[in-house]
């Protein structure tokens, strides 16, 4: 197997996983709304997504990186992103 074929296989795997996650999001969310409040679902999704992105990006953050100015900007961007979704 060549390098391009190996990368192509990994790309197809990633696309398939993304399609499965997106496709299953609607039924799971519909079921969750019957059980808990929509605000709780949004808060959990935002937290889980942020944590997943931090882990997958392998970023090295320290506590001094999160100044009040940065946290405020992140809050505003999060509120706009969630409300326009």
Torsion of CA 11, 17, 22, 27, to 10 degrees: 160
Residue with tokens 């969630």: 82
Predicted pLDDT at 16: 92
Contact at 8 Å (CB) between 50 and 10? no
Per-residue pLDDT of the chain (85 residues; tens, 9 = 90+): 555 666 788 889 989 998 998 888 888 888 888 899 888 887 888 788 777 777 777 777 777 877 888 888 877 887 787 666 5
Predicted pLDDT at 2: 58
Predicted pLDDT at 10: 86
Rounded to an integer, what distance in angstroms lies between the CA atom of residue 46 and that of residue 36?
A: 16
Task: Mention every residue, 6+ apart, whose C-beta is less than 8 A from residue 46.
Answer: 78, 82
Alpha helices, H only, the chain:
3-35, 38-57, 68-83
Residue count of the chain: 85
Predicted pLDDT at 83: 63
């Amino acid at each position: 197997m060549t390098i391009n074929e190996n990368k192509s296989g990994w790309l197809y795997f990633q696309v398939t996983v993304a399609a499965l996650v997106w496709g299953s999001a609607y039924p799971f969310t519909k079921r969750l709304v019957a059980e808990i409040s929509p605000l709780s679902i949004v808060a959990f999704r935002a937290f889980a997504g942020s944590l997943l992105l931090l882990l997958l990006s392998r970023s090295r953050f320290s506590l001094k990186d999160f100044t009040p100015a940065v946290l405020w900007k992140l809050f505003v961007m999060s509120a706009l992103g969630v409300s326009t979704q």
